[in-house]
Amino acid sequence: MSSFFDLSDEERMIQQTAREFADSEIAPVAGQNDAEGRFPKDIIAKLSELGFMGMLIPEKYGGSALGNLCLVLALEEINRVCASTGVTMSVHNSLATSPIIKFGSDYVKETYLPRLATGELLGAYALSEAEAGSDAASLKCRAVKDGDNFVVNGTKSWVTTGANADLYVVMLRTDPEQRASGISSFVVERDTPGLSVGKKEDKLGLRASSTTELVFEDCRIPAKNMLGEEGQGFKIAMATLDGGRIGIGTQAVGIAQACLDASVSYAKEREQFGKKIGEFQAIQWKIADMATGINAARLMVYRAARLRDEDVPHTKEAAMAKLFASEMANRAAREAVQIHGGAGYLKDFPVERYYRDARITEIYEGTSEVQRIVISRAYLGG
């Protein structure tokens, strides 16, 4: 799938390992997990054993420090068979471990990274609130300093892996007089008194991944669990989302590749009017457009990942990759269902699941509209 891109032997090995694991361990249960809304805890444990949950974590903390491109290579293969498992792995690496690596104190790194690397702790990320989605700077969940702690009250919304995570990177308002500069970032353990998991959302897709509220009621978080300095939370959130957007762009590529694979297979088998439907130009053009879009999106995602590994500015490239890949994935999913005809509308065929899973990629980690704002500002300023 990636012969056109210059990958090292190590990168190809990681890609192949992820591909084989996805096909042998995840694919057989992906449909059932989706149907039952069952979180793939056993699969996540196996991914941890393979080292896929610590791919960005430095070796001194037990990780493999393989970097973002290697993470993308593995994530594409996982998402190709199960986007629910893929987003769990993506959030853990890109949104939970990444800000701890970059902004955590020695104490925070030493306390949490080794356990995140082995999968003993599963990480999640809590930024959005009911009234603070795209406008993240307007969040209201409040943290008030009290000695060596911050006392937190409020609710976070749409937390991916919320019901299953052991640790959350949370953005909280520490200064009510400021907007973006009044937000700080904290690492919060699941069993902290005063923290509870609230409503579990009933979603269209990604049904084997939990999405929940987090409810804080006089929850005391140690001040030493802050990431960076007080007031740097919004900056940390935006820097973290660059990686998250690369992760979701990768998810979109994986879903789209699954749509293409299924469509090619079906077009070679299904007969109408006395010949395989793949012999009709209408189907051939759909396949051609899907394949072209996937290859373009994959290159954009790889480039953004490599820029992130080189620690150079990549906000624009991450937004472009996420925007193009997510919209491409939705087109691919729509065409895959169309190629399958009535069968594509049935749960008997996986393209129905791909169609549902693809939809969220244009929404979370910043909507397509937000990505266009980010990209245009890179050129126009503002």
Tens of pLDDT along the chain (382 residues) come to 444 468 999 999 999 999 999 999 999 999 999 999 999 999 999 999 999 999 999 999 999 999 999 999 999 999 999 999 999 999 999 999 999 999 999 999 999 999 999 999 999 999 999 999 999 999 999 999 999 999 999 999 999 999 999 999 999 999 999 999 999 999 999 999 999 999 999 999 999 999 999 999 999 999 999 999 999 999 999 999 999 999 999 999 999 999 999 999 999 999 999 999 999 999 999 999 999 999 999 999 999 999 999 999 999 999 999 999 999 999 999 999 999 999 999 999 999 999 999 999 999 999 999 999 999 999 999 7
Out of 317, 327, 365, 369, the active site residue is 365
308: its two tokens: 């992130």
Q: What pLDDT is attached to residue 5?
A: 66
Angstrom CA distances, 376 to 238, 292, 296, 306, stand at: 16, 25, 20, 22
pTM assigned to the model: 0.96
Angstrom CA distances, 106 to 50, 77, 117, 149, 373, stand at: 26, 33, 16, 18, 36
Distance CA 220, CA 375 (A): 39
Angstrom CA distances, 209 to 75, 294, 369, stand at: 15, 24, 25
Which helix (H) or strand (E) element contains residue 216?
strand 211-222
- Residue 120 among the catalytic residues: no
What is the distance of C-alpha 249 from the center of its chain?
Answer: 8
Q: What pLDDT is attached to residue 132?
A: 93
Distance CA 60, CA 161 (A): 27
Distance CA 170, CA 189 (A): 10
Residue spans per domain, the chain: 9-122, 124-231, 234-380
Distance CA 299, CA 219 (A): 44
Number of other residues whose CB lies within 10 A of the CB of residue 45: 12
Return the CATH number of 9-122, one of 1.10.540.10, 1.10.10.10, 1.10.3720.10, 3.40.50.300: 1.10.540.10
72: its two tokens: 């993308």
Return the CATH number of 234-380, one of 1.20.140.10, 2.60.120.620, 1.10.10.10, 3.40.718.10: 1.20.140.10
User: Domain 124-231 - what CATH class?
Assistant: mainly beta
Contact (CB, 8 A) for 129 and 137: no
Q: What pLDDT is attached to residue 2?
A: 45
Residue indicated by tokens 């749509």: 259
Q: Is 117 left (phi over 0), alpha (psi -120 to 50) or beta?
A: alpha
Find the length of the chain.
Answer: 382
Concatenating the DSSP letter of every residue in 116-154 gives: HHHTSS-EEEE--BTTBSS-GGG---EEEEETTEEEEEE
Of 176, 74, 57, 67, which Cα lies nearest the Cα of 118?
57
Number of other residues whose CB lies within 10 A of the CB of residue 135: 12
